[in-house]
Structure 1
């Protein structure tokens, strides 16, 4: 199980995957917006998205769990 974490505090601008999607290592899965910049969050393992813990528009803090991949 791999937890995809927020690299910094910001707003969830876009969620690019949903539960059940297949993802590949290095794929962008979430776009955060912080300080008027878009920050892509990538997954470090290939697998299946088990859970999406956030919604577009949510505010997250650094190291919050965004997505779980198995």
Structure 2
């Protein structure tokens, strides 16, 4: 299992993938908002989304797991 984590603290603005989706390296999977800036979170690897751990509006801290890939 591979985890995609938050690169900084912020609020989840959008989740671009759902459970079962195929993702590729460099693909934007989550958009965070921090200090009035939009921060895209990209997948660093390819895989299939097994768990989406956040919803729109959730606050996350740096290092929190956002998605789990298989």
Q: Deviations over 1:7-41 (max 9, x none)?
A: 00000000000000000111000000000000000
Q: Please identify runs of 4+ aligned residues in structure 1 that moved more than 3 A.
A: none
How many matched pairs? 70
Please say if 1:67 is aligned against 2:67.
Answer: yes
For residue 44 of structure 1, what is the aligned residue in structure 2? 44
Q: Which runs of 5+ in 2 are unaligned?
A: none
Query: How far did residue 62 of structure 1 move?
Result: 0.4
> Structure 2-normalised TM-score?
0.98
Q: CA–CA distance in 2 between the matches of 1:20 and 1:65?
A: 17
Q: CA–CA distance in 1 between the matches of 2:33 and 2:69?
A: 22
For the aligned residues, what is the CA RMSD?
0.5
Q: Which runs of 5+ in 1 are unaligned?
A: none
For residue 34 of structure 1, what is the aligned residue in structure 2? 34
